[in-house]
Chains A and B, each alone.
Chain A
Amino acid sequence: MTRKARPRRGTRRDRIAMQALAVLLALLALSPFLWLLLMSFKTNAEIFRFPPRLLFDATLANYAALWTSEFRNSFANSLIVGVVSTTLSLVIGVPAAYALSRWTTRASGTITLWILASRMAPPIAFTIPYFLVYRHLELLDTLTGLIIIYLTFNLSLVIWMMRPFYDQLPRSLEEAAWIDGATMWQGFRRIILPLSGPGLAATAILCFLFAWNDFFFALILTRTEAMTAPVAVVNFMNYEGWEWGRIAAGGTMIMLPVLVFSFVVRRYLVHGLTGGALKG
């Protein structure tokens, strides 16, 4: 085992200069995001004012207008679809991740590529066949239809995230239970699952976020009934005449849960996006 790198130590002045530069760059990088956040609290007149007033009269009117509109339904749709597809993916995918971690077969390389390709495939590759089939199954514009298509990326994600997690749990744990007469299932259910808490939580959050963030599938496969929040916000742009305040407020409402959850799972972000290409 190599020693982990200790952070470099420059001279004191260098370090202060570097940190100041980092703060400056962070402010610059975040300014577009902060601008949208501020915009959501502005009246229309205030939005068009330049230079902006630092202390403007903040208003919640944009949010209030959203909450009394159809947007509320779309927000609920996003929540339902995200939670259900996450739950299904975990129930189906976690045992598979465990088995793939413990069971070495010749097919594991193929399965790995298949799962990675499912995660990496351009969404349109699934959208075309799903669209054609859903027309006949009457699943267009339904929450069920969205939940099924979100499984395409979330089920793969669960296997990706949980398999390396189980690789790290020592086999001696369940082997001890087997020697004591526990069945395979009991070993998994009573020993392994209770130890999976942190991995499961991170995986669940990432699954939910991927479903929540989806725009393309929802754009094509929904019309009105099952429309999700990201599509609803875009509709403010196209049909209701550029209501910037409401667009900003809608965008903020979509991103708030994402920011909170991402902060919780920030350690797992790279892992979730690359499927453990890097063990860091």
Chain B
Amino acid sequence: MKSSAAGGFRRSQHRFFALCVAPSLAVLALITLLPSLYLLATSFTPLNLTRPETQWDFSQPFVSYGQLVSDSRLHNSVWVQIKLSFWTVVLQLLIGLGLALLLNMRTRLLDALRTVFLIPMVLPPIVVAIIWKVIYTPDISPMHGIFRALGWNVPALITDPDWALTSIIIADTWEWFPFTMLMVLAGLQMMPQELLDAAKVDGATPWQLTRYITLPFIKGVLLVAGLFRLIDSIKAFPLIFILTDGGPGNLTEVTNYYSYLQAFNFSYLGFSSAITIALLAATIVLSWVIVRMVGWGAAVD
């Protein structure tokens, strides 16, 4: 069937596929691409909502970017962000991995528990924030109740300079360890049994099995899970908004939160746009790394 009829069919097929894709691409262009360009344009203006004349003022296009270099509060926020991202990603990977290894047996009880462990991740982020606000508020917190009963005098963690960031890290880790756990479990299920059997025949102990067979096999999964969590950690908002409001001082003020404050508390949308462009660039680079690692780009066959 290499006649012109087949060619006509091919053409109509292409037309149909193009018609299917067009609305999505048009809408995505309108709602994501255009706003991104708008954001980029705004970042070249000193837009301040209290001074409307600044809206399309491109006379000094790099003034906001100059501020990126000179603003020490921003630099502090990047450092806070790095600490938050590092510790949450590491803790989530460790806890997720540990639990996945523990739960990787097929019994009815463990199947049920696997679902139970998902709860923190699926809760609305604002509910997670409320839960931890309760835990961290001494008057009503069961945790502080226990501390008091033990005779320990523990300050309110979210207002204590030494503990504020740690308390955010704990809450964030609680919210997202199920994600890494799920990814690792999915990875473990793809492990070929032959590999384990062969190692067992050679007399490997359970620890050696984990260390030399299982871990190398799920290395890729751990990396992808970590990258996803890393990108997400850049967006941390509800926990910080509800628990500490960036404080005490600027100790828990991550970059995303600082950008929000500049835009919607101080009305400096131009400067905030410049910060956000930097954040956006970081997420796009990380997404690109994921696309390359998972091999989606090479999906053309």
Contacts and interface: CB of A to CB of B under 8 A. Distances in A.
Contact of B123 (A5, A6, A258, A278): A258
A108 interface: yes
B256 A124 contact: yes
Interface string B1-29: 00000000100111011111101110110
B124 A212 contact: yes
Contacts of B301: 104
Interface string B80-119: 0000000000000000000100111111011001011111
Nearest to A21: B102
List the 10 closest pairs (A to B, CB-CB), nearest first.
A280-B186, A96-B24, A99-B20, A50-B145, A109-B297, A95-B20, A184-B16, A129-B38, A262-B122, A129-B35
B120 to A, nearest CB: 7
A220 B269 contact: no
Interface in B276-301: 276-277, 279-280, 283-284, 286-288, 290-291, 294, 296-301
Contact of B191 (A5, A32, A35, A121): A5
A184 to B, nearest CB: 4
A133 B37 CA distance: 13
Contact of B283 (A106, A117, A251, A262): A117
Interface of A: 2-8, 10, 15, 18-19, 21-23, 25-26, 29-33, 35-36, 39, 47-48, 50-52, 92-93, 95-96, 98-100, 102-106, 108-109, 111-118, 120-133, 148-149, 151-152, 155-156, 159, 178, 183-185, 188, 209, 212-213, 215-216, 219-220, 230, 233-234, 237, 244, 247-248, 251, 254-255, 258-259, 262-263, 266, 269-270, 273-274, 277-278, 280
Interface stretch (B66-74, B158-166, B192-200): B192-200
Nearest to B144: A50
B102 A22 contact: yes
B238 interface: yes
Tell me if A's interface is mostly helix, strand, loop or mixed.
helix
B39 A125 contact: yes
A22 B28 contact: no
18 contacts: A2-B193, A3-B194, A4-B190, A4-B193, A22-B110, A29-B174, A31-B142, A98-B20, A116-B291, A124-B256, A128-B263, A215-B238, A233-B126, A262-B122, A270-B186, A278-B221, A280-B187, A280-B189
A165 to B, nearest CB: 15
A35 B134 contact: yes
A98 B294 CA distance: 21
B63 interface: no
Contacts of A216: 237-238
B28 A118 contact: yes
Contacts of A130: 35
B272 interface: yes
Contacts of B14: 103
Contact of B269 (A6, A105, A122, A132): A132
A268 to B, nearest CB: 11
Contact of A277 (B103, B196, B288, B294): B294
Contacts of B182: 269-270
Given A99-B17, A248-B134, A277-B228, 15 more contacts: A4-B189, A7-B104, A26-B117, A36-B127, A113-B287, A120-B231, A121-B284, A123-B235, A125-B39, A129-B34, A156-B28, A215-B126, A258-B122, A266-B115, A270-B186
A92 to B, nearest CB: 5
Interface of B: 9, 12-14, 16-21, 23-25, 27-28, 31-36, 38-39, 42, 99, 102-107, 109-110, 113, 115-127, 130-135, 139-140, 142, 145, 148-149, 174, 179, 182-183, 185-194, 196, 206, 221, 224, 228, 231-232, 234-235, 237-238, 241-242, 256, 259-260, 263-264, 269, 272-273, 276-277, 279-280, 283-284, 286-288, 290-291, 294, 296-301
Contacts of B273: 128
Given A117-B287, A234-B242, A255 B12 contact: no
A280 B190 contact: yes
A23 B140 contact: no
A122 B116 contact: no
Contacts of A120: 231-232, 283-284, 286-287
A39 B131 CA distance: 10
Contacts of A47: 140
